[in-house]
Amino acid sequence: MKKVIVVGSLNFDIAVYTPRFSTPGESVLGNSVVLGVGGKGSNQATAAHRSGAETVMIGQVGRDFMAELLHKHYLEEGMSERYITVTDKAETGSGVIEIDPSGQNSIIVVKGANGTLSDIEVMKAADEFRSADVVLTQLETGFSSIEKAKELAQENGIPFIINPAPHQPVPEGLFDGVDYLTPNETECEYFSGIRVTDETSAEAAAEKLLEKGAKNVIITLGKSGVYYAGQKGCMMVPTTDLKSVDSTGAGDAFNGAFAVAVSEGMEIETALKFANCVASLSVTRYGASKAMPYRAESEKLLKDYYGITL
């Protein structure tokens, strides 16, 4: 079993299913509300775990009732909490999510304890990097934790993936030497300055991100699939035709699965298609972490849709 290290966020999610998104100053009657486990880091770790990897989650929560739901999730999944620390400096991170009937969402994230995760907590797991196969992180924690994860990954010759979400100003040189940079269309436009509307604009945007030092760029484009540019050339990979009911966590599903694919040494096109399948299955279910599919489901879709058997 391959080992995936995820340095990232853990959130308490409040998901509201609504007939339509509200406008400023407007109240809309919702259909239902669901409390759940989220945070890009925890979602990605769950996706990697259910996709067949040993997953080491490095993160931080507050000392409050919201952390209890996360604790329950990790117990039920059989995932280690060894490197999930508790801080008195901030509350557990949270997300407020609106989901409309088409499955589209609008999300407000409060970093909370995620924002206080630093290089100190990551260093406590330094020994894990010596036996890891890939490291994955995002932008929902303190930047020193991300920079330390990158440093340890590079010291140990491990592929390092940054999902640059949510988009925000980042330290100079953060993307330099990153093995895989995986923005969606919005994040890609923010960091490249180019709006992605088709394959041509995706190619131009990816080139800008490669110029920032990333070795490979993967732009996730929702129903349009993914665009890849980097050391293996360029390609557009279509996604499946499964119907979405809740797109929350779809990008996290993709990233967690892609990390597993990299850890297993899959060829890039196969890795992208495998990750597409995991993301596609996740949006057919409600919720974030709990919507992540298991390996057998993803392999079946990979075979049925793409004709690939692992």
Asked, for residue 184, whether it belongs to a domain, the answer is yes
Q: How far is CA 41 from CA 18, 44, 46, 202, in A?
A: 26, 5, 9, 26
CB 156 within 8 A of CB 129: yes
Respond yes or no: is residue 100 known to be catalytic.
Answer: no
Asked, for residue 298, whether it belongs to a domain, the answer is yes
Asked, for residue 55, whether it belongs to a domain, the answer is yes
Question: What torsion do the CA atoms of 146, 152, 156, 157 make, to the nearest 10 degrees?
Answer: 30
Q: How far is CA 74 from CA 45, 127, 146, 163, 252, in A?
A: 10, 22, 22, 22, 17
pLDDT per residue over 126-155, tens digit each?
A: 999 999 999 999 999 999 999 999 999 999
**pLDDT profile of the chain (310 residues), mean per 10:** 97 93 91 92 98 98 95 96 97 93 88 96 98 97 98 98 96 97 97 96 97 98 95 96 91 98 98 98 93 97 98
Asked, for residue 195, whether it belongs to a domain, the answer is yes
Tokens standing for 194? 């180019």
Measured from the Cβ of residue 85, the count of other Cβ atoms closer than 10 Å reads: 16
Residue 283, exposed/middle/buried by CB under 10 A (0-12, 13-18, 19+)?
A: buried
Asked, for residue 26, whether it belongs to a domain, the answer is no
Distance, in Å, from the CA atom of 101 to the CA atom of 120, rounded to the nearest integer, reads 43
Read off the pTM: 0.94
What pLDDT was estimated at residue 287? 87
What pLDDT was estimated at residue 47? 98
Domain count, the chain: 1
Asked, for residue 147, whether it belongs to a domain, the answer is yes
CATH number of the structural domain spanning residue 41: 3.40.1190.20
Cβ-proximal residues to 132 (8 Å cutoff; 6+ apart), any chain: 3, 4, 5, 56, 153, 156, 158
Range of the domain at 176: 3-21+31-306
Q: How far is CA 88 from CA 65, 85, 91, 92, 171, in A?
A: 13, 10, 8, 10, 26
Considering the candidates 133, 179, 246, 252, report the single residue annotated as catalytic. 252
Distance, in Å, from the CA atom of 16 to the CA atom of 95, rounded to the nearest integer, reads 11
Asked, for residue 246, whether it belongs to a domain, the answer is yes
What pLDDT was estimated at residue 250? 95
What pLDDT was estimated at residue 104? 87
